[in-house]
Structure 1
Amino acid sequence: MPSRRVITGRSQEPRRRFAEELRLLRTEKGDSLRQLEVVLGWNASTFGKMEGGQSLGSPEIVEALDQHYGTAPMLLTLWELAVADPSQFKEQYRRYMLLEAEAIGLWQYSVSAPPGLLQTDGYAHEALTAGGLKGEELNQQVEARTSRRKLLEGAEAPPFRAILSEAVLRNSLRDPAEWRGQLEYLVKASEYLNITLHVLPFGTGPHGLMNTDTMFLRLLDGRTVAYTENDVRGELVEETGKVERLHRTYDAVRDLALSPAESRTFILRVLEEVPCEPST
């Protein structure tokens, strides 16, 4: 078999390729980072981080760059591929992330933290910092985690049901402003037609998922797989019998939880308890 022909000589890894194209386009146009700041309105350091691979930026910035360089929709397409690229996640999550992106239905039980699909940037940053990440790796993992929210947005977004232990709503961030933002996002998400939230209040008694975050994915081929995670390990569960047992346990927990309307009211009450002033 003949060897694969190298067409451009540039990276085939989506995130790196996106950064390379940004640098190439700016160089060819003769712009400096400062000139981009003046013309497009975003800080020069933002463009520098995007070209250095530390950040992907927002779709608004990328669309503005596409217009500036006359490349629409090339850069936005590359950005979408970079955001969806599972290689930005740690190895143990990559197969799960590939399946999640293809899921036609998702449901989850969360023990002590908001589901990854519903975490704000501020929450993800503090949680990942507490886990020991810093610098470029921290920024990359925050962006990788929060970009998952896009899976639940748009007309074609799959249905998502989440049961939140009350601990999720009580284990607040250090910064009250960021914590308010997270709770407000949960309230907003509960209004989406494809998202259903339940709160499992304290005092409902022991159940089969007490210490295990559990996500179920309904796939295009009709299969359902599960991903379970605790403090020390995560496991992708694909064996039908095991998935069914987990599913029955999940249904039993849902029977203990508040209704969606009651849950929204519960979250709003918790939100009222959070100070409005940011921490100093």
Structure 2
Amino acid sequence: MDRWVELRMTRQGILERKDPPRFSAIIDEAVLRREIGGPECLAAQLRHLAGCVAGPNIEIRVLPFSAGAHASPTGAFRIFTMEKPFPEVGYAETPKGAIYVESPDTQRFARTYDELRELALTSEESAELISATAEKLSR
């Protein structure tokens, strides 16, 4: 467990280095409400997340419940865009293991991401919702 935590903390540090990569995420509102570890733990996690979005290289948007049916009903996915000569890579986990696809087959991931981004709250609205949810949990 200690090694796993160390790995995650090291990975988070990449976003704070001198020339950090750009990170953009869309999270479902349910993530802000699911209390794993109790309300104090979730509130601390949300405060940390709210602090992260203050950085110029990090964009986090919340897909609100009011958006209706999720544009990605099969679950979470990631798109990695790197400098040439590396291709864009799409990644999704399944019960049978991870699936990786390279461009041009990443277009479906990109379209789904764009649809989710259109439905999601703005970065500012998302930061406000994240902070308000943390505050509510702290009471």
TM-score (norm 1): 0.46
Please tell me whether residue 225 in structure 1 is matched to residue 100 in structure 2. no
Choose between structure 1 and 2: higher strand proportion: 2
Identity %: 33
Contact 2:26 2:62 in 1 (8 A): yes
Contact 2:43 2:133 in 1 (8 A): no
Please tell me whether residue 141 in structure 1 is matched to residue 4 in structure 2. yes
* Cα gap change, 1:176 to 1:208, in 2 (>3 Å): closer
* Aligned length in residues: 138
Contact 2:23 2:57 in 1 (8 A): yes
Shift of 1:230: 4.3
* Cα gap change, 1:210 to 1:203, in 2 (>3 Å): farther
Amino acid at match of 1:243: T
Whole-Å separation in 1 of the counterparts to 2:96 and 2:132 = 33
Identify which of 15, 20, 33 aligns with 1:152.
15
Match of 1:236? Answer: 100
Match of 1:247? Answer: 110
Query: Which stretches in structure 2 are left out of the alignment for 5+ residues?
Result: none
Contact 1:211 1:230 in 2 (8 A): no
Contact 1:213 1:230 in 2 (8 A): no
Secondary structure, in 3 states, of the residue corresponding to 2:62?
strand
Shift of 1:232: 5.2
Contact 1:214 1:227 in 2 (8 A): yes
Secondary structure, in 3 states, of the residue corresponding to 2:79?
strand
Shift of 1:177: 2.7
Amino acid at match of 1:235: I
Query: Which stretches in structure 1 are left out of the alignment for 5+ residues?
Result: 1-137
Match of 1:262? Answer: 125
* Cα gap change, 1:230 to 1:258, in 2 (>3 Å): farther
RMSD: 1.8
Shift of 1:189: 0.4
Whole-Å separation in 2 of the counterparts to 1:208 and 1:225 = 20
Q: How does 1:25-174 map to 2 (within 5 A)?
A: 138-174=1-37
The structure with the largest alpha-carbon Rg is: 1
Amino acid at match of 1:158: P
Whole-Å separation in 1 of the counterparts to 2:74 and 2:48 = 25
Amino acid at match of 1:195: I
Deviation above 6 Å: which 4+ runs of structure 1?
Answer: none
TM-score (norm 2): 0.88
Looking at both structures, which has the greater relative contact order when contacts are Cα pairs under 8 Å and sequence separation is at least 6? 2
